[in-house]
Amino acid sequence: MYYNVLLVDDEEIVCDGLTRFVNWEELGYRVVSSASSVAQALVYMESSPVDLVISDIRMPVQNGLQLMEIIQSEYPAVRTIILSGYGEFEYARQALRLGASDFLTKPVNFGELKKLLINIKKELDQERQEDRNRKEYRQMHLHHVLNSLAKGYIVDDQEEQAELAGLPWDREYCLIRFQHQQFYNEQADLNDVKELISRIASQAAADKGSVWVFNNERSEIACLWMPPVEGDTTDYLKALTESLESHQIEAVLGISERHRRLDHLKEAYLEAGRALQYAMLHHDRKITHYREIDHVLLTDYRIDETLAAEILDLLASPEQWSRIEAIIYSTIDAMNYEGCKPHEIQAFCIQILFMISQNLYSIHNMKSSAKTDNVMFATVRALLLSSDLTSMKDSIAGALDRMNQELNPVDQEAKSSHTIAKVQRYIDEHYAQNISLTTLSNVFFIHPIYLSRLFKEKTGKNYLDYVTEVRIMRAKELLKNPALKVYEICQMVGYDSPRYFSKLFKSLTGMTPKEYKEYT
């Protein structure tokens, strides 16, 4: 990356000599243009980015000092170097008072110019890094606030935190969740696709409202969209889908109902998730609104945790699948005996199938396809049309058999290790967020108890110890940056209390964050 240099001198030979006899690229710069007057220089700066201006003092109409005044007022981040002739030192002193980095006498000593350019580049590099850190911190804070609100994490000052992140608290919004086939590929591809979709979602808003995109799940991107007053949802969605298609991205979207206050974001998040889940059953559907989905998927049937853990443990061994079938059958019979209504039993069957299929995608690295989506869709439809327990059980048995046949005959130990590697990658990506076992369970569709045991078995560490190690390692890197305060770094790595962060850091490194910062 090069810094842009603008040369300003009414003598063309001076600009030509500076351009030709300085190895700009070697020093980290490039000459983007030259101007023969202050007016010409300002016209260029209005439309093109400039990092450094090298200008003569004496020029007709307006001189270099007048240019310095304008740059100081309108372009304070731009560095300047003044060229002056012998006997013009008073002008040079004025230029320094106006913010010039330094001055050089004509004819220019290229050795002195090179030293000056090296020093200025160091300053620009530091400013750019500080700006990058500030942007990174703001983005991390935004992701943290939106994830906390969307997933119902308890935050005492959530309205204040939303305000600090630039989020209007009381304004109409929709929540959109995206999934894409490439989200099941390796991490490098995953990050690239997520970044591209984030840019598309932001750019599609233009004059169609405000958009905040956040990284909510390993396999998803979420988007909080606030339309303009009297705005039409279809305007933004049309621009969004057209842009996705132009980039050849076949994303599936689930969209919530409209809500008003951000403390309802969890409800909107769940609605968008259900709409997305329903869309995945319809391979030819790209957008699904919550209001459009079948009533049975609205039934909030929560699978018993003990039952879920037992089934997910058995999934690791295909030879145990007959037991899974038997457990589901006995649960259906028990629900019928207890007087549950048919649509409640249907909802249980559908949720069990979703849980099993999503777990298989995660643990066994299976990829969604038109074929698998159609199989699931056909099973759900069959369940919806089932009028008795026998036909429901037959639908479940057929779906389980087809899933079992799709499993690759590879070593189960390798599959488990692959799963934990993905969990570790997720922690490495989301260490600044509130990562609990429940969070990881929701992301990877693995029961918390089973996940905790598997993580300890494969890594030799408790998952919380691993999260702490990742956070402290990242904190060490950030502490090397003199522009960042300890309390800022505390928040950037996922801790709310600076005191707790300092105590934890010292227990693991032998130094407080402040001592470590001074030592390094």
| pLDDT reported for residue 399 | 84
- pLDDT value, residue 416: 60
Question: Domain span at residue 441?
Answer: 414-519
367 and 427 both lie in a single domain:
no
Kindly state the DSSP code that residue 108 receives in the 8-state scheme.
P
**Is residue 124 assigned to a domain?**
no
- 353/434 same-domain check: no
Which of 108, 126, 152 is the endpoint of a domain? 108
Question: What is the structure's pLDDT at 186?
Answer: 45
pLDDT at 126 over 90: no
pLDDT computed for residue 107 by the predictor: 83
Q: Which residues contact 14 (CB under 8 A, 6 or more apart)?
A: 7, 56, 83, 106, 108
Is 130's pLDDT higher than 90?
no
In this structure, the answer to whether residues 278 and 196 fall within a common structural domain is: yes
Q: Under 8 Å CB-to-CB from 317, ≥6 apart: which residues?
A: 412
* Residues 182, 274 share a domain: yes
> What stretch of H or E contains 450?
helix 448-459
Q: For the chain, what is the domain count?
A: 4
Give the CATH number of the domain where residue 508 resides: 1.10.10.60
Residues 31 and 95 in one domain: yes
- Average model confidence (pLDDT) for the chain? 80
Bigger pLDDT: 375 vs 453: 453
pLDDT-derived band at 236 (thresholds 50, 70, 90) equals confident
Give the pLDDT mean for 267-289.
79
Least-confidence region, from 13-17, 182-186, 377-381, 490-494: 182-186
Residue range 238-256: average pLDDT? 86
Express each pLDDT in 13-50 by its tens digit: 888 888 888 899 999 999 999 998 989 999 999 888 99
- 3-state secondary structure (DSSP) of residue 29: strand
Q: Which two tokens stand for residue 47?
A: 């439309």
> What average pLDDT does range 335-344 have in this prediction?
86
CA distance 140 to 317: 39
Whether residues 250 and 351 fall in one domain: no
84-98, 138-152, 215-229, 328-342: lowest mean pLDDT where?
84-98
Over 261-297, what HEC string results?
EHHHHHHHHHHHHHHHHHHHHCCCCCEEEHHHCCHHH
Residue 148 lies in a domain: no
What is the pLDDT at residue 3?
92
Q: Name beta bridge partners: 34.
A: 7
| pTM greater than 0.85 (yes/no) | no
In terms of domains, do 420 and 514 share one? yes
Give the Cα separation of 484 and 140 in Å (integer). Answer: 14
Look up residue 434 and give its two tokens: 């509130």
Residue 223 has pLDDT above 90, yes or no: yes
In a domain, 113, yes or no: no
Backbone angles phi, psi at 283, to 5 degrees: -60, -25
One domain for residues 221 and 277: yes
Please check the confidence at residue 410 and state whether its pLDDT lies above 60.
no
Nearest to 158 by CA among 493, 435, 150, 139: 150
In a domain, 364, yes or no: yes
Can you give the pLDDT at residue 184? 42
d(CA 259, CA 241): 22
On whether both 28 and 62 belong to a single domain, the answer is yes
d(CA 22, CA 43): 25
Long-range contacts of residues 478-484, Cβ cutoff 8 Å, at least 24 apart: 478/133, 479/513, 479/516, 479/517, 479/520, 480/517, 480/520, 481/129, 481/130, 481/133, 483/126, 483/129, 483/130, 483/133, 484/133, 484/137
pLDDT band at 411 (very low <50, low <70, confident <90, very high): very low
pLDDT of residue 187: 44
- As a whole-number percent, the residues of the chain with pLDDT over 70 amount to 84
* Crossing angle (nearest 10°) for helices 233-246 and 187-203: 140
pLDDT of res. 293 = 77
The domain boundary residue, chosen from 293, 319, 352: 293
Name the token pair of 490.
């505390």
Selection from 88, 90, 41, 96 nearest residue 72 by Cα? 96
Residue among 161, 183, 197, 172 at smallest CA distance from 268:
172
pLDDT digits (tens, 9 = 90+) for 69-102: 888 888 888 988 888 775 566 666 676 776 777 7
- Taking the mean position of all CA atoms in its chain, how far away is CA 14? 48
Q: Is the pLDDT of residue 327 over 80?
A: yes
pLDDT of residue 51: 92
Lowest mean pLDDT among 82-86, 228-232, 265-269, 399-403: 228-232
Q: At what angle do helices 305-315 and 448-459 cross, to 10 degrees?
A: 40
In a domain, 424, yes or no: yes
Query: Beta strands 52-56 and 29-35: pairing type?
Result: unpaired
Same domain, 186 and 263: yes
Name, of 173-182, 387-396, 502-511, the range with top average pLDDT: 502-511
> Which of 138-142, 295-299, 355-359 has the lowest average pLDDT?
295-299
Find the range with the poorest average confidence among 26-40, 129-143, 344-358, 398-412.
Answer: 398-412
CATH number at residue 276: 3.30.70.270
> Is there a domain that residue 298 lies in?
no
Strand-strand pairing, 252-255 and 220-226: unpaired
Residue-wise pLDDT tens digits, 415-453 = 566 678 778 878 887 888 878 887 787 777 677 777 788
The crossing angle, in degrees rounded to 10, of helices 463-479 and 448-459 is 70
pLDDT of residue 32: 92
pLDDT at residue 406 in the model: 65
pLDDT at 188: 44
Q: What is the CATH number of the domain that holds 61?
A: 3.40.50.2300
Q: Is residue 134 part of a domain?
A: no
Residue 301's pLDDT band, with cuts at 50, 70 and 90, is low
pLDDT tens digit sequence for 472-487: 998 998 888 887 888 8
- Residues 313 and 402 occupy one common structural domain: yes
Taking the C-alpha atoms of residue 208 and residue 229, their distance in angstroms, rounded to an integer, is 10
Domain final residue pick, 409, 430, 465: 409
Say if residue 19 is in the same domain as residue 46: yes
Residue 73 lies in a domain: yes
